[in-house]
């Protein structure tokens, strides 16, 4: 096969793009395998050093915080629970509310949809005080419920599900009705399997969204056992800055690399559905 010049250019651009994304991660990873002192004196590294196991072991198991009890592992678990809860509930609630908006032809469906849509303009940061007031009045501060609940309503996902349901032909519903499907079984037997790829995509986005929350957990949690990974980044920084004479740069890199793993795993597991959806159009 002859290679066209255009293809070469396209590949060069793609390779540049890949390098742009991969090189910083590699530097972080390589640097996380050295001694903090080495990095401070010699700069960031491109090759793997000999401190890999020690650094990661330290990051995962060292107890920190004011109480000297919270570990990075605990923070990972917290973040994972929070992101999982947010992503799952967001997908479930959005899919169901979109179902109601599209298939139940009640009079206010359109105004209600736009009302939901407008909430896009009011992100959590804007309504953080009222949200905090509500959650604290409910006694949910320092709990997973409090971390997850205020973030589960999603206008974006509702919008996408609504648009998708609207493309499903009416005959499918009618046919299912004649086959004896009720409202619930139509949702479970038809809409959910048909929107598999949609669900996977939304789940990934929402997982990353939940995982990278910073302000809300910061305000919500006073007990260290509910700290999340993103909060931890700040804590490690402070701790090393004040506690020890030298910043523990290598451990920080190790921490960053570790913190990337859960979202990466989610993408890796769910991309199968993504690709499947792209290859075979089942509609």
Partner 1 sequence: MSFLDLKNVTKIYPNGTKAVHETSLSVDEGEFMVFVGPSGCGKSTLLRMVAGLEDITEGDINLDGKLINEVDPSERDVAMVFQNYALYPHMNVYNNLAYGLKNRGIDKETIEQKVNDAAKLLQISDYLQRKPSMLSGGQRQRVAMGRAIVRNPKIFLFDEPLSNLDAKLRIQMRLEIKKLQQKVGVTSIFVTHDQVEAMTLADRLAVINNGIIEQLGTPIEIYDNPKSLFVAGFIGSPQMNFLDGNIKNKTLSAEGFEIKDIDSDFEGEVKLGIRPEHLSQRENSLINLKVDLVEQLGSDNLVYGQLKDKKDFCYRCPGNLTIEKGADLSLNIENNKYYIFDKSTGKRVN
Residues that bind partner 1 (CB under 8 A): 169, 171-172, 174-182, 185, 189-190, 193-194, 280-283
Return d(Cα 147, Cα 132) in angstroms, integer.
Answer: 10
- In the bound complex, what is the minimum distance in angstroms from residue 198's beta carbon to partner 1? 13
Nearer to partner 1, 195 or 221 (CB): 195
Nearer to partner 1, 117 or 274 (CB): 274
How far the first Cα of the chain sits from its last, in Å, is 35
Q: Which of 246, 232, 264, 247 is nearest to 62 (CA)?
A: 232
The two structure tokens encoding residue 134: 């509500």
Nearer to partner 1, 234 or 272 (CB): 272
The two structure tokens encoding residue 45: 């590294």
Nearer to partner 1, 137 or 282 (CB): 282
- In the bound complex, what is the minimum distance in angstroms from residue 110's beta carbon to partner 1? 16
Q: Which of 84, 79, 28, 81 is nearest to 56 (CA)?
A: 28
- In the bound complex, what is the minimum distance in angstroms from residue 266's beta carbon to partner 1? 23
- State the angle between helix axes of 249-279 and 5-31 in degrees (0 to 180), rounded to the nearest 10: 140
- In the bound complex, what is the minimum distance in angstroms from residue 182's beta carbon to partner 1? 7
- In the bound complex, what is the minimum distance in angstroms from residue 276's beta carbon to partner 1? 12
Nearer to partner 1, 53 or 178 (CB): 178
- In the bound complex, what is the minimum distance in angstroms from residue 174's beta carbon to partner 1? 5
Nearer to partner 1, 133 or 177 (CB): 177
Nearer to partner 1, 50 or 174 (CB): 174
Please answer whether residues 119 and 153 qualify as being in contact, where contact means their C-beta atoms are separated by less than 8 angstroms: yes
- In the bound complex, what is the minimum distance in angstroms from residue 184's beta carbon to partner 1? 11
Return d(Cα 283, Cα 281) in angstroms, integer.
Answer: 6
What DSSP string describes 59-118?
A: HHH-EETTTT-EEHHHHHHHHHHHHHHHHHHHHHHHHHHHHHHHHS--TTHHHHHHHHHH
| Distance (Å) of CA 213 to CA 119, 155, 216, 218, 230 | 18, 17, 7, 9, 7
Q: Which of 165, 154, 258, 161 is nearest to 206 (CA)?
A: 154
């Amino acid at each position: 096969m002859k290679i066209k010049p255009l293809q070469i250019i396209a590949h060069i651009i793609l390779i540049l793009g890949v390098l742009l994304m991969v090189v910083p991660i590699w530097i972080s990873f390589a640097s996380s395998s050295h001694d903090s002192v080495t990095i401070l004196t010699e700069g960031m590294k491109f090759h793997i050093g000999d401190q890999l196991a020690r650094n990661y072991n330290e990051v995962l198991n060292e107890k920190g915080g004011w109480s000297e009890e919270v570990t990075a592992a605990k923070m990972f678990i917290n973040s994972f629970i929070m992101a999982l809860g947010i992503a799952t509930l967001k997908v479930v609630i959005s899919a169901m509310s979109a179902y109601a908006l599209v298939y139940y032809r009640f009079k206010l469906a359109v105004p209600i949809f736009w009302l939901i849509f407008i909430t896009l303009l009011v992100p959590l940061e804007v309504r953080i005080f009222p949200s905090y007031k509500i959650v604290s009045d409910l006694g949910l501060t320092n709990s997973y419920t409090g971390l997850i609940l205020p973030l589960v309503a999603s206008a974006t996902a509702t919008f996408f599900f609504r648009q998708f349901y609207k493309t499903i032909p009416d005959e499918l519903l009618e046919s299912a009705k004649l086959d004896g499907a009720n409202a619930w079984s139509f949702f479970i037997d038809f809409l959910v399997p048909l929107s598999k790829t949609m669900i996977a995509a939304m789940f990934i986005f929402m997982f990353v969204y939940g995982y990278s929350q910073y302000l809300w957990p910061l305000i919500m949690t006073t007990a260290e056992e509910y700290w999340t990974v993103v909060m931890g980044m700040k804590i490690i920084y402070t701790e090393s800055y004040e506690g020890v004479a030298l910043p523990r740069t290598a451990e920080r890199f190790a921490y960053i690399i570790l913190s990337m793993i859960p979202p990466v795993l989610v993408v890796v597991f769910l991309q199968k559905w993504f690709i499947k959806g792209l290859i075979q159009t089942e509609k």
